[in-house]
Amino acid sequence: MRVFKFGGASVKDADSIKNVYNVLQQVGYNDVLIVISAMGKTTNALEVVVKNYREKSPELQASIQEVKKYHNQILLDLFEDENNPVFNTVKELFNDMENFLKKNKSPNYNFIYDQVVSTGELVSTAIVSHYFSSMGLHNQWLDVRDYIKTDTTYRDAVVDWEQTQQNIAQKVNRKVLSITQGFLGSDENSFTTTLGREGSDYTAAIFAYCLNAENVTIWKDVKGVLNADPRYFDNAKLLNQISYREAIELAFYGASVIHPKTLQPLQRKEIPLFVKSFTEPLLPGTSVSKGADLEPHMSCYIVKKNQLLVSLSSLDFSFIMEENISEIFALLHKYKMKVHLIQNSAISFSVCVDDKFGNFAELKNILAQKFKVSYNEDVSLYTIRHFTEKSVNAVADNKEILVKQVSRETMQLVTRELQQETV
């Protein structure tokens, strides 16, 4: 059996959904289970709904209508007959969401988030399933919440593997094309949970593991895994094949490859993963599988922009010891500062962080009570896997190097652009 995953970009509108159908016609759909994300930017739009609900904003109904309008247009573009049952199915799913918002008593933001945002995946899969049926492609729609069981850690749920494996092994009909939702699960009380970052990819891996799948294919709008982000690097090259280990290393440093959480269950059963283009589905893409001989024979570049380099030193020149570092990390966690690089000496400690939530000003005031705090804003963190002198020079050109770390396979540079002199 094969598992396919289609993300939001691949089902963002009617033409995109038609393209998914065409992909299946080209690559085959026998013994296939498809995992589908919410359409386009629906998750972001539903996050606005959650925000407006929590803040009791008068914009709540408008934000709900915006999501419904977006999906209704896709329905009208796909189905000529408005009496098609899919219109009622989608209407009922949105009614379920609105009824939850009316009846909910829980103040738990993460709980509310999961119950609302999950509507995106439920609606997208319902639309795709009905469209396939209208085209004569027989399929079964699965509610993933009946299959993947988790704990109650809303927004980052932990899978109950024993129960999940039993459900999937017993309930999935391998003889029929199955369509289900990514990102979602349910707890022991049947409340919806979500699986956190890269949740849809992880869903595909969970099903593949439990079904002993032949392989998993993640369909993207690129030809496969590239050695660099083409937004920042010219001449980015396709990595034809890489090992699980290399994919995990690249993901750890921030590459938009595959999250380690997705790779782990595949690696345990040595299930190959393919990353392919949904616009050119017959191209080979990138394969991820077991083998030290699959390391890239070229440098791989990862860049994180708009970072913050924070340096702390003791006020009295005393050593920064383990208890100080422990306290610092507790504060970084509390203020949701994502740490990407660490460097320390006897009396100083530096971190390159992502201040995604804008909490640094408050954190700085806390740290200043015990440490001398200096910082550089808007720096870039470059990570070069399998670095060479040429690749390092290309990255460092016209930049000031603030921090440099080197290991056997990886070099990291925290940089800022050199100021151009004006004439």
Phi and psi of 373, rounded to 5°?
A: -115, 125
> What is the pTM (predicted TM-score) of this model?
0.89
C-alpha torsion sign, points 168, 170, 174, 175: negative
pLDDT at residue number 234: 86
The yes-or-no verdict on residue 20 having pLDDT over 70 is yes
From residue 334, how far is each of 65, 183, 326, 337 by CA, in Å?
35, 26, 12, 8
Q: Which pLDDT band, with edges at 50, 70 and 90, does 293 fall under?
A: low
Tell me if 32 sits within 8 A of 2, measured CB to CB. yes
In this prediction, residue 294 carries a pLDDT of 67
Tell me: domain 300-417, CATH 3.10.350.10, correct? no
Q: Please give the CATH topology (third level) of the domain spanning 2-220.
A: Carbamate kinase (3.40.1160)
Nearest residue to 128 (alpha-carbon basis) of 29, 47, 197, 27: 29
pLDDT at 420 over 70: no
Confidence of residue 422 (pLDDT cuts 50, 70, 90): very low
> Could you report the per-residue pLDDT of 334-363, keeping only the tens digit for each?
998 999 999 988 888 999 999 988 999 999
Percent residues over pLDDT 90 in the chain: 84
Closest by CA position to 205, among listed 255, 164, 254: 164
Q: What is the pLDDT of residue 423?
A: 37
Give the model's pLDDT for residue 116: 98
| Span 102-133, pLDDT tens digits | 999 999 999 999 999 999 999 999 999 999 99
Beta bridge partners of 174: none
For 56-81, write each residue's pLDDT tens digit.
999 999 999 999 999 999 999 999 99
User: Stretch 131-156: mean pLDDT, rounded?
Assistant: 97
pLDDT in tens, 147-193: 999 999 999 999 999 999 999 999 999 999 999 999 999 999 999 99
Task: Give the separation between CA 222 and CA 279, rounded to whole angstroms.
Answer: 8
pLDDT at res. 296 = 76
Q: To which residue do tokens 């804003």 refer? A: 377
Q: What mean pLDDT value characterizes the chain?
A: 94
CB atoms within 10 A of CB 329: 14
Q: 247 to each of 5, 81, 284, 340, 355, how far by Cα in Å?
A: 18, 46, 17, 17, 25
Range with the poorest average pLDDT among 15-24, 148-157, 291-300, 377-386? 291-300
Listed range (45-54, 219-228, 244-253, 365-374) with the worst mean pLDDT: 244-253
Residue boundaries of the structural domains of the chain: 2-220, 300-417
